[in-house]
Amino acid sequence: MTARQSDFTPVIDLLREKGTGPVRENRPVYADLMPPCNNACPAGENVQAWLDLAQAGKFQEAWRAILRDNPFPAVHGRVCYHPCETSCNRAQLDSAVSIHAVERFLGDLATEQGWTPDEPAASSGKRVLVVGGGPSGLSAAYHLARLGHAVEVQEAGPLPGGMLHFGIPAYRLPRAELMKEIARIEAMGVRIVLNHKVEDILAEQAAGSFDAVFVAIGTQIGKKIDIPARDAAKVIDAIKLLHDVETGEAPSLGRRVIVYGGGNTAMDAARMARRLGAEETLIVYRRDRAHMPAQAFEADEALSEGVKIKWLSAIKDIGEDSLTVETMRLDESGRPQPTGEFETLSADSVVLALGQQTDCGFLRNAPGVAFTADDLVIVDSNMMTGRPGVFAGGDMAPGQRSVTAAVGHGKKAARAIDAFLRGAAAQTSVKHPIATFDLLHLPIYADAPPSVQSEMPVAERLAHGFAETMAGLSEAQAHHEARRCLSCGNCFECDQCYAACPEQAIVKLGPGRRYLFDYARCTGCGVCFEQCPCHAIEMKPEPARTAPEASA
């Protein structure tokens, strides 16, 4: 926040009466760098801003700050892989801020206390169709509604949420919490139509008189692989398994289950099999752990629940109650190569978790819409396809595949659609340089142990089936965790510069307004820069001097 010079004229005049107007080579200015957590967030959340509000105990304001970018704080606090924490500078001091845990606390508190989003903008008179009720489609619908547009979501399935509902097990994401955040979007006026599969995008657009369309159907079809199966044991796709469990149609998998794949879905399927009664669950993966696509903590949780992993192995043949695997070796590039060494494993069921692909044939009759070689929809920098007014995002578009990335796509598309409907250019923001750890001055900080979320013991997890395994933070824990943020690159009014200045050239302006640099007193010694722990101040070459001045 930058204060206007005129706001502080009386203060400046008083200081100038005693100032000497020194000649400087460099002067302090505010830096306003990009926090690494903000930079890493695929949803584009202003993480540092809402953590600052949370550490001040302003929980509802913090929640509203999240909602400016993401309508699902309770969901993301549970299922996001939190790249913000991987990038957190505090990890190099002691341990990263548990950002996801604070976000979950705020999302759960909002539900508990019945907080509602800010009122949307006035009606634009425009209608937008969203095809797909998953995280990207619902995010787009939410942001479009906030901007004043009428939105209808058409979802092929019986429930909204897409892969949030049918791809993430309930022990990671309780359905009640998911549905509460979706209900909040509906309460904003978004209409969700279920069990409606779009077969012709142009016909749907014309029938509903929609001014624009956002397509986000995700990747709901499991990839196939050519494995001979003679009188095979039960073979099921992992996505279908997760879907069937959610709809109450869980299959009987038998005593010994083998899951083929090394991604997050494979880990979920293996843990799911344990909860469905499998006594032995083995993941077979053709590479080693270092090359595993699954998140490390996902694999750790699976292993803690008794799942075993057979690395460097590829299934070659599936028989009635057994399968044949070949031992693999990794070449110099990390690719698996066959060795000619085989082994037979017994199995009652085989679950294939080999990735997903999209089913977007209904877009092929839309002139201008183009596809990549692997059937992803090609979009421009504003998420628009080659067909004007038809946008696409989420897993069906090129880019990172995660819930958070999908939500970010939805927000970006909504803003681009809004600009398209207004006949304006989509706004782009210029990113500030990142505040890396080496820029910080941290002698005032002591170790602050992170708040730890308690986990259900392994034996209880399996006994309770699909009950949530991870607990949230208490209010005291959330407050403590938010206070661990270093506020990298942005002033948090710690008074270090104010206390250190030998010329009394720094003026406090009050909470949330930072400080004023009185250049009539400042000698350019740089002590304020050296004492600023978060690198919110930089020393810049002195401009040509014309008159006494000050800066806030």
Residues 6-54: pLDDT tens digits? Answer: 555 554 454 444 444 457 889 999 988 999 999 999 999 999 999 999 9
**What does the alpha-carbon distance between residue 14 and residue 96 come to, in Å, rounded to a whole number?**
44
Percent residues over pLDDT 70 in the chain: 93
Read off the pLDDT of residues 474-512 as tens digits, 9 standing for 90 and up: 999 999 999 999 999 999 999 999 999 999 999 999 888
Domains 127-220+358-422 and 228-351 share a fold: yes
- Residue of 382, 167, 497, 52 whose CA lies nearest to 506: 497
Q: Tell whether the model's pLDDT for residue 238 goes beyond 50.
A: yes
CATH of 228-351, one of 3.90.420.10, 3.40.50.300, 3.50.50.60, 3.40.50.720: 3.50.50.60
SS (H, E, C) 130-180: EECCCHHHHHHHHHHHHCCCEEEEECCCCCCCCHHHHCCCCCCCCHHHHHH
pTM of the model: 0.89
Which superfamily does 127-220+358-422 belong to? FAD/NAD(P)-binding domain (3.50.50.60)
Residue carrying structure tokens 């959340």? 45
- Residue of 163, 164, 166, 138 whose CA lies nearest to 152: 138
The partner residues of 357 in beta bridges, in order of sequence, read 221
**What does the alpha-carbon distance between residue 406 and residue 428 come to, in Å, rounded to a whole number?**
19
Confidence of residue 232 (pLDDT cuts 50, 70, 90): low
Q: Tell whether the model's pLDDT for residue 231 goes beyond 70.
A: no
pLDDT at 215 (0 to 100): 96
Read off the pLDDT of residues 108-117 as tens digits, 9 standing for 90 and up: 999 999 999 9
- Burial (CB count <10 Å: 0-12, 13-18, 19+), residue 401: middle
User: What are the sequence ranges of the domains in the chain?
Assistant: 5-32+490-551, 38-117+447-483, 127-220+358-422, 228-351
CATH of 5-32+490-551, one of 1.10.1740.10, 3.40.50.170, 3.30.70.3270, 1.10.760.10: 3.30.70.3270
pLDDT at 393 (0 to 100): 94
Q: Tell whether the model's pLDDT for residue 548 goes beyond 60.
A: no
Question: Are the C-beta atoms of residues 175 and 252 closer than 8 Å to each other?
Answer: no
pLDDT at 19 (0 to 100): 41
Q: Tell whether the model's pLDDT for residue 468 goes beyond 50.
A: yes
Look up residue 494 and give its two tokens. 């710690």
Average of pLDDT values for 175-181?
96
Which superfamily does 38-117+447-483 belong to? Alpha-helical ferredoxin (1.10.1060.10)
pLDDT at 398 (0 to 100): 86
- Residue of 319, 313, 316 whose CA lies nearest to 346: 319
